[in-house]
């Protein structure tokens, strides 16, 4: 072809191509990690409840308070309303001058404290006294009130209030509030030989700012003084021979909610019941029943320990005389093991709840302290169960559930994905094999899809010696296909729920689970998408 024709044709196509933009596309393959997990037993529980011993063997080590009985349950100061006042009789009249005393009195108030409690002293932690005043006199009147047996920095609690003048038809009414925090109040009456009794005085007089005048019938001052919701810091006296009942009730454990085990058999376990008495009072108690309640399987195992939990004598606490830590508690420990109880089947039931029923009696020998029983705010009677289970066990399998967040930010052009696959790389350091399934979870917690085909989701166990001690981790790779619909579901995925079944091998001795055992999971997405570029 002559050179001139080639030049003309080239020029023609160059004009065409130069006059428009060209879009090209090609397929791109990428593999990006979207979820990672390093899993040991601690990952499956709300609290870190596993601790390793000196040999590296993991122990399920858990402490749970069953009973927490505080001072406000043992002794409660009642709400009390006191009425004071002076009003001139209807047919009388009285000439008065500034400062004249209309009425003055000293009286004792007995508090209605229940359950046979006899208090001789209280220190107030927090409280407010409300006073409602009504003045029907034509002159201002002063009200002075004093708790004679109270003391704060050597000063008694007082109310000193002047109420402005009013009239019988248009009385002056005011309400005032007074803090009583920190006051010590003796409750032994004016002569020191009473109980639950507070001596007081009050005086009603014409205010010094008043004028000389005449009061007529119906004129005077009425005061209503109310003690409500008084919280003591300390109480002392005789707390009576109260009968206390705790339960039947149950307390939620919440430590095994993600664990299911088939035919669990433990080798050893212990529960130590710690009774901590921070009250200055003796108890005699019976732990009448303790139950292992598996709410999932609807099974209950009652703890059988002979008489170990009956007729428990608990001595009174002592005082340290240290304001920051005023109580020296009395401790009582009761140790239950597989040799003195049916503790193994009790624990093997994998309880969600611990049921209990307890009876206790205060001061079984009466007022032996000579009214020196005591209680401090924030201190009380507690019963705590300390559970210890070494993880030397036999079972058909156990099931664990875990969750991993999904990050798709590195998968560019996700909307243009044609197809792909999910790849799970697993490093198993446990001495048993497992099957694992993953589920896509959307932001509402709904399951969108599963990841792997049954039968193609097996993780090999670690390499072990004859005693099932781990010598080397094992690597496994699982693959799950993603068609177009699967890709669409992946776009909505916010979490992956991993459900793992670990199968324990047949062995002459139980398996030991150590603190070095783990399962590493890396979930990647390998996608093919159509990349487009405009030229």
DSSP string, 149-207: TEEBTTB--EEEEEE----SSS-EEEEEEEE-TT-EEE-BTTTT--SSEEEEEEEEEE-
138 exposed, middle or buried (CB, 10 Å; 0-12, 13-18, 19+)?
middle
DSSP state of 365: T
Are 204 and 221 contacting, i.e. CB atoms less than 8 angstroms apart?
yes
pLDDT score recorded for residue 99: 96
Could you tell me the sign of the dihedral formed by the alpha carbons of 367, 369, 373, 379, in that order?
negative
What values do phi and psi take at 231, rounded to 5? -105, 115
- What is d(CA 215, CA 89) in angstroms, rounded to the nearest whole number? 10
- Give the CB-side neighbour count of residue 223, counting CA atoms within 13 A: 24
CATH topology of domain 59-73+241-390: Jelly Rolls (2.60.120)
pLDDT score recorded for residue 12: 38
Are 525 and 34 contacting, i.e. CB atoms less than 8 angstroms apart?
yes
Cβ atoms within 10 Å, residue 429:
18
For the segment 8-19, the average pLDDT, to the nearest whole number, is 40
pLDDT score recorded for residue 173: 97
Of 19-23, 151-155, 403-407, 410-414, the least confident: 19-23
- Give the CB-side neighbour count of residue 258, counting CA atoms within 13 A: 16
For the segment 86-114, the average pLDDT, to the nearest whole number, is 93
- What is d(CA 164, CA 136) in angstroms, rounded to the nearest whole number? 9
Of 210-219, 343-352, 517-526, the least confident: 517-526
> pLDDT, tens digit, for every residue of 168-207?
999 999 999 999 999 999 999 999 999 999 999 999 999 9
- What is d(CA 374, CA 318) in angstroms, rounded to the nearest whole number? 9
1 exposed, middle or buried (CB, 10 Å; 0-12, 13-18, 19+)?
exposed
497 exposed, middle or buried (CB, 10 Å; 0-12, 13-18, 19+)?
middle
**pTM score, whole prediction:** 0.76
Question: Of 347, 328, 320, which Cα lies nearest the Cα of 336?
Answer: 347
Start-to-end CA span in the chain (Å) = 31
Whether cis (ω within 30° of 0) applies to the bond prior to 21 is no
Pinpoint the alpha helices (H) of 44-160. 71-74
Class of domain 26-57+395-534: mainly beta
Tokens 């007529």 locate to 216
| Domain positions in the chain | 26-57+395-534, 59-73+241-390, 76-238
Residue 414 predicted with pLDDT over 90: no
For the segment 381-387, the average pLDDT, to the nearest whole number, is 93
pLDDT band for position 62 (cuts 50, 70, 90):
confident
Q: 3-state SS string over 14-48?
A: HHHHHCCCCEEEEEEEEEEEEEEEEECHHHHCCCC
Residue 388 predicted with pLDDT over 70: yes
For the segment 97-105, the average pLDDT, to the nearest whole number, is 96
Residue 465, CA distances (Å) to 219, 470, 471, 473 in order: 100, 7, 7, 12
Are 497 and 401 contacting, i.e. CB atoms less than 8 angstroms apart?
yes
- What is d(CA 280, CA 363) in angstroms, rounded to the nearest whole number? 10
Q: Are 59-73+241-390 and 76-238 equal in CATH topology? A: yes
DSSP state of 352: S
pLDDT band for position 477 (cuts 50, 70, 90):
very high
Residue 36 predicted with pLDDT over 70: yes
Residue 25 predicted with pLDDT over 80: no
Are 122 and 184 contacting, i.e. CB atoms less than 8 angstroms apart?
yes
Of 256-260, 296-300, 349-353, 474-478, the least confident: 256-260
What values do phi and psi take at 431, rounded to 5? -80, 35
The CATH code belonging to domain 76-238 is 2.60.120
When the pLDDT of each residue in the chain is averaged and rounded to a whole number, the result is 86
- What is d(CA 390, CA 401) in angstroms, rounded to the nearest whole number? 21
């Amino acid at each position: 072809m002559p050179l001139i024709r080639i030049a003309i044709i080239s020029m023609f196509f160059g004009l065409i191509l130069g006059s428009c933009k060209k879009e090209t596309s090609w397929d791109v393959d990428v593999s990006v990690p979207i979820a990672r997990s390093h899993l040991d037993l601690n990952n499956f529980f709300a609290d870190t409840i596993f601790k390793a011993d000196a040999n590296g063997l993991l122990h399920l080590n858990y402490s749970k308070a069953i009973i927490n009985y505080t001072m406000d349950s043992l002794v409660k100061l009642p709400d009390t309303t006191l009425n004071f006042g002076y009003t001139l009789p209807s047919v009388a009249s009285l000439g008065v001058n500034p400062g004249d005393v209309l009425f003055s009195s000293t009286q004792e108030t007995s508090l209605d404290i229940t359950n046979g409690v006899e208090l001789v002293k209280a220190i107030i932690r927090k409280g407010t006294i409300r006073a409602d005043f009504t003045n029907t006199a034509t002159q201002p009147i002063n009200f002075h009130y004093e708790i004679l047996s109270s003391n704060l920095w050597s000063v008694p609690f007082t109310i000193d209030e002047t109420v402005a003048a009013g009239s019988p038809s248009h009385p002056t009414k005011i309400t005032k509030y007074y803090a009583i925090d920190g006051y010590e109040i003796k409750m032994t009456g004016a002569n020191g030989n009473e109980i639950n009794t507070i001596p007081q005085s009050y005086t009603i007089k014409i205010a010094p700012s008043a004028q000389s005048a005449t009061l007529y019938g119906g004129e005077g001052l009425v005061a209503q003084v109310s003690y409500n919701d008084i919280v003591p810091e300390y109480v002392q006296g005789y707390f009576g021979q109260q009968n206390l009942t705790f339960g039947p009730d149950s307390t939620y454990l919440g430590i095994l909610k993600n664990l299911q085990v088939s035919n669990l058999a433990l080798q050893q376990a212990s529960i130590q019941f710690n009774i901590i008495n921070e009250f200055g009072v003796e108890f005699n108690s019976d732990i009448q029943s303790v139950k292992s309640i598996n709410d999932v399987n609807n099974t209950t195992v009652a703890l059988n320990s002979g008489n170990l939990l009956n007729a428990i004598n608990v001595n009174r606490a002592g005082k340290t005389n240290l304001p920051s830590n005023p109580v020296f508690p009395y401790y009582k420990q009761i140790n239950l093991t597989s040799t003195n109880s049916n503790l193994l089947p009790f624990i093997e039931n994998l309880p969600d709840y611990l049921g209990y029923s307890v009876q206790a009696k205060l001061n079984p020998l009466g007022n032996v302290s000579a009214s020196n029983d005591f209680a401090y705010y924030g201190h009380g009677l507690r019963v705590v169960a300390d559970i210890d289970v070494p993880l030397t066990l036999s079972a058909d399998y156990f099931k664990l559930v875990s969750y991993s967040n999904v990050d798709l930010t590195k998968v560019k052009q996700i909307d243009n994905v044609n197809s792909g696959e999910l790849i799970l790389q697993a490093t198993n350091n446990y001495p048993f094999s497992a099957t694992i399934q993953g589920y896509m979870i959307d932001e509402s917690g709904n399951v969108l899809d599963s990841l792997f085909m049954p039968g193609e989701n097996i993780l090999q166990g670690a390499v072990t010696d004859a005693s099932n001690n781990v010598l080397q981790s094992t690597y496994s790779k699982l693959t799950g296909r993603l068609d177009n619909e699967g890709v669409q579901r992946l776009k909505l995925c916010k979490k992956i729920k991993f459900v793992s079944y670990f199968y324990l091998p047949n062995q002459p001795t139980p398996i030991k689970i150590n603190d070095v055992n783990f399962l590493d999971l890396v979930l990647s997405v390998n996608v093919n998408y159509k990349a487009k570029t405009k030229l």
